[in-house]
Amino acid sequence: MKSRRKLIRFLRQLTLFTIVVFAAAALYAQNPYWQSQADPQMVVVPVRSAQEIATDLENARVTRQLAIHHNMQAVERLKQIATAIESRESLIDDIKDRKDNAKDSKDKSEEKSLKIEEKANKQGIDLLKRLKDLREAEVDLAESEEDHADMMIMVLQRESDLQQKRSEYNWPSIANTGDLARNTASRVLRELEVDLLELQKKLASATEKVASKQKKVVEQRMKLHKAQLKLGM
């Protein structure tokens, strides 16, 4: 008799467990989000550890500080070149005045010497203008790198938000909640994923812009180098 009662009790417990399992499975089947999260091949945004994201975020902030520093340096170099060009142009104006005076006084030797000096300074200005083009390209590059770093930080911050919510809304923690709570969790995660993907798309565009600016810098360096070779420098 005791054995029979134990058997009946065991069968009841088994039945209750089976009902719970099937109920959970039914809830799982009704929510495609949790299905996709359970299947690694269906996860659109890869899952990364909080530590990995935090490390990348710290590195991105360091990169941003470097980009800001490089931008300030590039702007300062551009200002120096602009000042050098103005100084050289003033020098040429002075040489022209002296050359006219030499011509009026019929000082052929002085006039010829000043013509040579004027030509050399004009060539110098041409090189400085080439260098100015390079400095302007470097400023554009530095600005694009700073923008890229800002966008990278935004992406990583949003990824951190997503991973945090994923941890909060994991399947065991919401399995026994109501449909409203589960649907809310699913919607929040989906919206965070969409937002993150949009930011990643913008980051890709920022990356392309940096590459384009880098190419422009190289092209300006090649032009400057060619001009130097032409003058035998």
Q: 88 Cβ partners below 8 Å, 6+ apart?
A: 121, 124, 125, 128
Task: Give the integer Cα–Cα distance in Å for 69 and 196.
Answer: 28
Q: In the chain, where does DSSP find H-type helix?
A: 2-30, 32-38, 50-104, 108-168, 171-174, 179-230
Query: What's the pLDDT tens digit per position in 78-130?
Result: 999 999 999 999 999 999 888 888 888 888 888 888 888 888 889 999 999 99
**Does this model's pTM top 0.75?**
no
186 vs 182: which has the higher pLDDT:
186
- Are 52 and 95 within 8 A, CB to CB? no
Is the Cα torsion angle 57, 59, 63, 65 positive or negative in sign?
A: positive
Query: What's the pLDDT tens digit per position in 129-165?
Result: 999 999 999 999 999 999 999 999 999 999 999 998 8
User: 50-230 has which fold?
Assistant: Substrate Binding Domain Of Dnak; Chain:A; Domain 2 (1.20.1270)
- For the chain, which residues make up each domain, given as ranges? 50-230
Query: What's the pLDDT tens digit per position in 186-219?
Result: 788 889 999 999 999 999 999 999 999 999 999 9
Whether residue 30 is predicted with pLDDT greater than 80 in this model: the reply is: no
Query: What's the pLDDT tens digit per position in 35-66?
Result: 445 455 567 788 899 999 999 999 999 999 99
**Per-residue confidence at 180, pLDDT binned at 50, 70, 90?**
low
Task: Give the integer Cα–Cα distance in Å for 212 and 206.
Answer: 10
Task: Give the integer Cα–Cα distance in Å for 123 and 21.
Answer: 85
